[in-house]
Amino acid sequence: MSSAPAPVQRTAHRLDWDAIVSLVPEGARVLDLGCGDGGLLARLAQEKHATARGVEINEVNVRACITRGLSVRQGNIEEGLADYPDGAFDVVVLSQTLAYINRGRPVVAEMLRVGKRAIVSFENAGYYQDRLQVLFGGGFGGDLTGEEPRQRPITLGQFRTFCASLGAEVVDAVFVGRRSAGPGGRRALWPELFAHQAVYLLGRGDAARSG
């Protein structure tokens, strides 16, 4: 019986996943942190022939990944990646998760330790529609009942400052609109305002290499 991942189910198209797939090299060793039900991992395995592994805290999602034929272990990414040696992966991915974790700095630092490159995607809190919503009293959205996870707003400028504090190098970035990559893709005009989502490819800067 083949151990290849099951065909990808495209029930909910994720534009940031399109950007992530475009940034992952063919045949790469990939670790996806907070991988959910394995949708992105399955795409990477099929479209990029990646050796794809994941870490996911939710038991139901872990079982869904295993059903797809994916290699995923249950764990809390905020507790570190001590099981993995330095440089074990070509790429480590954190997709739409940074805003929901309590301590982003050690998580991204660990990504750059175990991976040659890190990919981080998040919603841009500086997106012009979100700014207008806040201006007119709508807040940043979310659920005040406690039934949805807390989301920390992140702007592109905040993220670049965060990377600099880690000594991480921004190698590339893709800016995503509501329906597609923003005007001009990587060369989008004023992404701070018009990028709904951002996907950053990070490398180990001098500080990250020495630390």
Domain presence at residue 9 = no
Contact 123, 196 (CB under 8 A): yes
Q: Tokens at residue 173, please?
A: 């970035």
Q: What pLDDT is attached to residue 157?
A: 94
Phi, psi torsion values for 78, nearest 5 degrees:
-75, -10
Domain presence at residue 107 = yes
Q: What pLDDT is attached to residue 135?
A: 58
Domain presence at residue 37 = yes
Domain presence at residue 3 = no
| Residue whose token pair is 């301590």 | 103
Domain presence at residue 138 = yes
Segments in the chain below pLDDT 50: 1-11, 144, 182-184, 207-211
Domain presence at residue 99 = yes
Q: Tokens at residue 37, please?
A: 């039900």
Q: How far, rounded to the nearest angstrom, does the alpha carbon of residue 56 sit from its chain's CA centroid? A: 13
What CATH number does residue 78 fall under?
Answer: 3.40.50.150
Contact 71, 53 (CB under 8 A): yes
Domain presence at residue 7 = no
Contact 154, 123 (CB under 8 A): yes
Q: What pLDDT is attached to residue 9?
A: 43
**What domain range includes position 65?**
15-210
Domain presence at residue 57 = yes
- H or E segment at 135? helix 128-135
Q: Tokens at residue 60, please?
A: 């139901």
Number of compact structural domains in the chain? 1
In total, the chain counts a number of residues equal to: 211
